[in-house]
Amino acid sequence: MKINQKISIEQPVGRILSYAGKAFLTLLNARLDKLDIERNFYALLLIETGEGKITQQYLADLLKTDKTSVVRIVDYLSDNGYVKRIKSPVDRRKYSLTLTPKSKREIPIIRNAIYEITEMAFKSLKKSQVKEFYNTLKIINNNLTWQNQMEESSFVNR
């Protein structure tokens, strides 16, 4: 093959979504560069919705990640003064996650930045196209999740 010959291969969907995700996060970090944190903005918004009742395990379920990763997320947010762990009076092994006054002041800034960048991403799309995009992503995610489960079970049955 000649060096100047064009290679035409459609990029895998995961790669395209990864580029979009990186671009989104780059813009988000630029907008939020005055904050003391550089990541875990979505986790912080989820903790806010829990109104002091969300546990680390429930946050792991919402984020679809393991508990060890959530411990690192909460440690990071806690070390930077955004979240506090409160021991459950009922079950001493569990902690409820609450926001600090600092995070309550900064969450509107985070929410607004996410909204503005999302609007930028969808600026030339109709509402129906955006809705279809989200539906398509859910289908892709379900397909891949189901496929992973099938492959894992086939390895177990070998």
Q: What is the pLDDT of residue 89?
A: 79
Residue 3 lies in a domain: no
Domain CATH for 108: 1.10.10.10
Does one domain contain both 83 and 111? yes
State the pTM of this model.
Answer: 0.80
Does one domain contain both 21 and 50? yes
Tally of domains in the chain: 2
Among 38, 100, 101, CA closest to 73: 38
Q: pLDDT tens per residue, the chain (158 residues)?
A: 555 566 667 889 999 999 999 999 999 999 999 999 999 999 999 999 998 889 999 999 999 999 999 999 999 999 999 999 998 777 778 889 999 999 999 999 999 999 999 999 999 999 999 999 999 999 999 988 866 666 665 555 55
Residue 140 lies in a domain: yes
Does one domain contain both 50 and 126? no
Residue 49 lies in a domain: yes
Among 52, 76, 47, CA closest to 62: 47
Does one domain contain both 68 and 131? no
Residue 103 lies in a domain: yes
Does one domain contain both 67 and 100? yes
Q: What is the pLDDT of residue 156?
A: 52
Among 64, 66, 18, 67, CA closest to 42: 64
**Domain enclosing residue 144, as ranges:** 122-153
DSSP three-state, residue 85: strand
